[in-house]
Amino acid sequence: MLAGEGCCIWNIDDRAFVLTVVNNDNEIEALLAGGEGFAKHARMFEEAVAAHPSHAGLTMRIDGRKGWRRHFADWEERDGVLTKRIA
């Protein structure tokens, strides 16, 4: 993981990468994702973000492509935006 002022690039098994930022609503927002076989690695990304100690109590947010819904069907969806609270 590369981290900077409120943003991270998550390296998922050296095959998929996700750029996240912490927005003004204290949500961890996935902005870009891609790589080889990302569908296989989507849950690994979710687990890695949720396991980070500083993320407890925040909400993960994914806005954009409808394809995300296939991978995160258990997340809440409203107007095309997916969210999940981190315990």
CATH number, position 17? 3.40.630
d(CA 34, CA 65): 12
Tens-digit pLDDT string for the chain (87 aa)? 555 667 888 888 888 888 888 888 889 998 878 777 777 778 888 888 888 888 889 999 988 777 788 888 899 999 889 999 998
d(CA 55, CA 70): 24
pLDDT at residue 84 in the model? 94
pLDDT at residue 86 in the model? 92
pLDDT at residue 42 in the model? 83
Number of structural domains the chain divides into: 1
Quote the domain boundaries for residue 57: 2-85
